[in-house]
């Protein structure tokens, strides 16, 4: 029997996933979850036939060019693939896969949490409780906004966007969306299509961002577009920080151009995010935990393993993106 292919796993994955991986492969694990720099990654890759990374490892064109020729695939433990230069991978003949579908529910939960947290001033409320600053109750105390019955705008009506739309309907929200193309009527389920971002932004109360980071979407939500939103509106982002221009959003939140924001993803995450966000009371901030549930993290791992199994059998992996 030929030796099992060696898989370089860049981060500590759930035990169940690591055990399953070992059934078909020889994993090179990272039990202490050390964040590898590029040189370390390239050195470890010398011993491997494929890499199973997270979005925390960046595969620029230069890094991909330097990958040992032995590496056949980058099987991501993520749905987003903006950390991989897909064109460079295609040119080098390295297969790239992702893990779609399995994190839509978990991410949609976080989008709803952000909407509610931003609308109902959860950060302020929590801070008051923890700092023992709750001294009085009055009809004017901590009054926020309701999301029930409001207009929910989905920017990027893919898998996650469609689940968020369903959850929004549960709150009696009317769904509006902008996408490259309108969905068919069954998928749209009555959601109202806008053929421009501006039209979407002008007609909603809550914006939920679900488009991937790409050259086309980088900085898409800028000062001009934020100015189209009405002053009571709320912005939530569970996709990628890159879709938002931070200076513009911080200004808009400071000056009342929009009312509040809920953010799970950032430019410069984890430790170089725009300092302005921390100063604002009207933002509800989470540390990129959209897919952070036991169920979803296991499912993401199994999905990455399925892709690797197909690749090393010489079959087409289900989730090939390059
Ligand atoms: C993942 C994500 O947990 O899958 C994605 O694209 O943004 C996250 O929710 C992370 O990327 C793991 O690599």
Domain ranges of the chain: 6-102+294-312, 104-285
Percent of the chain's residues with pLDDT above 90: 99
- Judged against a pLDDT cut of 60, whether residue 8 lies above it is answered with yes
Q: What is the pLDDT of residue 305?
A: 98
What does the pLDDT read at residue 61? Answer: 98
User: Whose CA is closest to atom 6 on ligand 1?
Assistant: 80
Atom number, ligand 1, closest to the C-alpha of residue 239: 7
Would you place residue 98 in the very low, low, confident or very high pLDDT band (cuts 50, 70, 90)?
Answer: very high
Active site residues: 240, 269, 288
pTM: 0.96
What is the atom index within ligand 1 of the atom nearest the CA of 290?
Answer: 9
Separation of 206 CA from ligand 1 center, angstroms?
23
Residue 103 Cα to ligand 1 midpoint, Å, equals 8
Query: Is-contact 120 282, C-beta < 8 A?
Result: no
Reported as a pLDDT band with limits 50, 70 and 90, residue 147 is: very high
Is the predicted pLDDT of residue 1 greater than 70, yes or no?
no
Name the CATH superfamily housing domain 104-285. Answer: NAD(P)-binding Rossmann-like Domain (3.40.50.720)
Q: Measuring CA to CA, which residue among 100, 94, 88, 90 is closest to residue 161?
A: 100
**CATH topology of 6-102+294-312 equal to that of 104-285?**
yes
Residue nearest to atom 2 of ligand 1 (CA): 78
For residues 234-260, one letter each, b for 16 or more C-beta atoms within 10 angstroms of the residue's C-beta and e for the rest, the string is bbbbbbbbbbbbbebbbebbeeebbbb
Burial of 161 (0-12, 13-18, 19+ CB in 10 A): buried
* Reported confidence tier of residue 85, pLDDT bands at 50, 70, 90: very high
**% of the chain at pLDDT higher than 70:** 99
Residue 87: the pLDDT is 98
Strands (E), the chain: 6-9, 26-28, 50-52, 73-75, 95-97, 151-155, 174-178, 192-193, 206-209, 234-237, 260-263, 283-285
Q: 274: which DSSP letter?
A: -
Among 76, 103, 109, 270, residue to substitute to test ligand 1 (most atoms within 8 Å of Cβ): 103
Quote the ligand 1 centre to 80 CA distance (angstroms). Answer: 6
Question: 137 C-alpha vs ligand 1 centroid, how far in Å?
Answer: 40
Q: Could you read off the pLDDT of 247-298 as tens digits, one per residue?
A: 999 999 999 999 999 999 999 999 999 999 999 999 999 999 999 999 999 9
- Mean pLDDT across 169-192: 97
Other CB atoms within 10 A of residue 120 CB: 18
CA 86 to chain centre: 18
- Give yes or no for a contact between 102 and 293, defined as CB atoms under 8 angstroms apart: no
Ligand 1: lining residues by beta carbon, under 6 Å:
54-55, 77-80, 103, 290-291
pLDDT score at 303: 98
Between strands 151-155 and 206-209, the pairing is parallel
Q: How far apart are CA 122 and CA 223, in angstroms?
A: 26
Mutation test residue for ligand 1: of 55, 59, 109, 241, the one with most atoms within 8 Å of CB = 55
What's the confidence (pLDDT) of residue 213?
96
pLDDT at 274: 98
Number of neighbours of residue 87 by Cβ within 10 angstroms:
11
| Mean pLDDT to the nearest integer, 212-226 | 97
Residue 171 has phi, psi (to 5 degrees) of -95, 15
- pLDDT for the residue 282: 97
The pLDDT value given to residue 96: 98
Q: Could you please state the CATH topology (level 3) that the domain comprising 6-102+294-312 is classified under.
A: Rossmann fold (3.40.50)
From 51, 80, 161, the mutation candidate for ligand 1 (largest count of ligand atoms within 8 A of CB) is 80
104-119 helix and 159-170 helix, angle to the nearest 10 degrees: 50
**Residue 305: which of 75, 49, 93, 44 has the closest Cα?**
75
């Amino acid at each position: 029997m030929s030796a099992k292919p060696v898989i370089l796993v860049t981060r500590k994955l759930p035990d169940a996933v690591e055990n399953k991986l070992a059934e078909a492969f020889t994993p090179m694990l990272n039990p202490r979850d050390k964040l590898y720099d590029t040189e370390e990654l390239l050195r470890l890759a010398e011993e491997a036939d494929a890499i199973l990374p997270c979005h925390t490892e960046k595969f620029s064109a230069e890094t991909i060019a330097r990958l040992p020729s032995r590496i056949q695939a980058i099987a991501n433990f993520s749905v987003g693939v903006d950390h991989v230069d897909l064109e460079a991978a295609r040119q080098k003949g390295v297969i790239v896969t992702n893990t779609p579908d399995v994190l839509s529910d978990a991410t949609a939960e976080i989008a709803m949490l952000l909407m509610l947290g931003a609308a109902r001033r959860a950060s302020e409320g929590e801070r008051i409780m923890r700092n023992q600053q709750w001294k009085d109750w009055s009809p004017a105390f901590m009054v926020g906004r309701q999301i029930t019955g409001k207009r929910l705008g989905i920017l990027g009506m893919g898998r996650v966007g469609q689940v968020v739309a369903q959850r929004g309907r549960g709150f009696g929200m009317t769904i509006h969306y902008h996408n490259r193309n309108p969905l068919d009527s069954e998928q749209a389920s009555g959601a109202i299509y806008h053929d421009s971002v501006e039209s979407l932004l002008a007609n909603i109360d809550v914006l939920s961002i679900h488009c991937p980071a790409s050259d086309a979407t980088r900085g898409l939500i800028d000062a001009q577009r934020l100015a189209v939103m009405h002053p009571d509106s709320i912005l939530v982002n569970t996709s990628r920080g890159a879709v938002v221009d931070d200076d513009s959003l911080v200004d808009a939140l400071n000056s009342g151009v929009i009312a509040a924001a809920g953010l799970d993803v950032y430019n410069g995450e984890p430790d170089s995010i725009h300092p302005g966000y921390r100063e604002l009371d009207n933002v509800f901030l989470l540390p990129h935990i959209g897919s952070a549930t036991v169920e979803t993290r296991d499912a993401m791992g199994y999905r990455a393993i399925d892709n690797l199994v197909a690749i090393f059998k010489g079959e087409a992996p289900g989730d090939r993106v390059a």
